[in-house]
Structure 1
Amino acid sequence: MKRLILLLAALAAMPAFAAEKLVVAATAVPHAEILEFIKPRLAAEGVDISIKVFTDYVQPNVQVAEKRIDVSYFETGPYLDEFNKGRGTNLVRVAGVHIEPLGAYSTKFKTLAELPDGASVAIPNEASNGGRALLLLQKAGLITLKDPANPVSSLRDIATNPKHLKFRELEGAMLPRVLNQVDLAVINTNYALDARLDPTRDALAIEDGKSPYVNFLVGRPDNRDAPAVKKLAAALTSPEVKEFIAKKYKGAVIPAF
Structure 2
Amino acid sequence: MKKTIGTLVLASTATLLAACGGDSETVTIGVSGSDTRIWDFVAEKAAEEDIEIEIVSFSDYVQPNIALAEEDIDLNAFQTISYFDEFIEDRELDLSPIASTVIAPMALYSEKVDSVEELPDGATIAVPNEATNLGRALLLLEESGLIELSDDAGLTGTPEDITENTKNITLEPIVAGQTPRVLPDVDASIINNGIAVDAGFSPVDDSIFRESDTATPYINIIASRTEDQDNEVYQRIGELYQQEDVAQFIEDEYNGGMIPTFVSLEELTNY
* The two structures share one fold, judged by TM-score above 0.5: yes
**What residue in structure 1 maps to residue 32 of structure 2?**
27
Task: Tell whether the 8 Å contact from 1:29 to 1:193 is kept in structure 2 after alignment.
Answer: no
**What residue in structure 2 maps to residue 252 of structure 1?**
257
The AA in structure 1 aligned to 2:123 is: A
**What residue in structure 2 maps to residue 236 of structure 1?**
241
Task: Tell whether the 8 Å contact from 1:138 to 1:144 is kept in structure 2 after alignment.
Answer: yes
Deviations 1:66-88 (A, max 9, x none): 11111110000110011011111
**What residue in structure 2 maps to residue 16 of structure 1?**
21
Shift of 1:15: 8.9
SS at match of 2:23: coil
Task: Tell whether the 8 Å contact from 2:105 to 2:258 is kept in structure 1 after alignment.
Answer: yes
**What residue in structure 1 maps to residue 135 of structure 2?**
131
Q: Report matched runs for 1:29-178 at 5 Å.
A: 30=35, 32-147=36-151, 150-178=154-182
Q: 1:15 & 1:150 partners in 2: Cα distance? A: 51
Q: 1:240 & 1:200 partners in 2: Cα distance? A: 22
Shift of 1:59: 0.3
What's the TM-score, normalizing by structure 2? 0.86
Cα distance change on mapping 1:102 and 1:14 into 2, 3 Å? closer
SS at match of 2:61: coil
SS at match of 1:202: coil
Percent identity, aligned pairs only, is 36
**What residue in structure 2 maps to residue 204 of structure 1?**
208
Runs of at least 5 residues in structure 2 that lack an aligned partner in the other structure: 1-16, 263-271
Task: Tell whether the 8 Å contact from 1:29 to 1:191 is kept in structure 2 after alignment.
Answer: no
**What residue in structure 2 maps to residue 3 of structure 1?**
none
Cα distance change on mapping 1:113 and 1:13 into 2, 3 Å? closer
SS at match of 1:49: strand
Q: 2:34 & 2:168 partners in 1: Cα distance? A: 34
What's the TM-score, normalizing by structure 1? 0.90
Shift of 1:89: 1.2
SS at match of 2:155: coil
Number of paired residues? 245
Q: 1:249 & 1:99 partners in 2: Cα distance? A: 12
The AA in structure 2 aligned to 1:150 is: G
Task: Tell whether the 8 Å contact from 1:65 to 1:220 is kept in structure 2 after alignment.
Answer: yes
Task: Tell whether the 8 Å contact from 2:183 to 2:189 is kept in structure 1 after alignment.
Answer: yes
Residue 232 (structure 2) pairs with residue 227 (structure 1): yes
Shift of 1:147: 2.4
Deviations 1:89-143 (A, max 9, x none): 1311110111011110101001111111221111111111110000010111111
Cα distance change on mapping 1:250 and 1:149 into 2, 3 Å? farther
Q: 1:33 & 1:125 partners in 2: Cα distance? A: 28
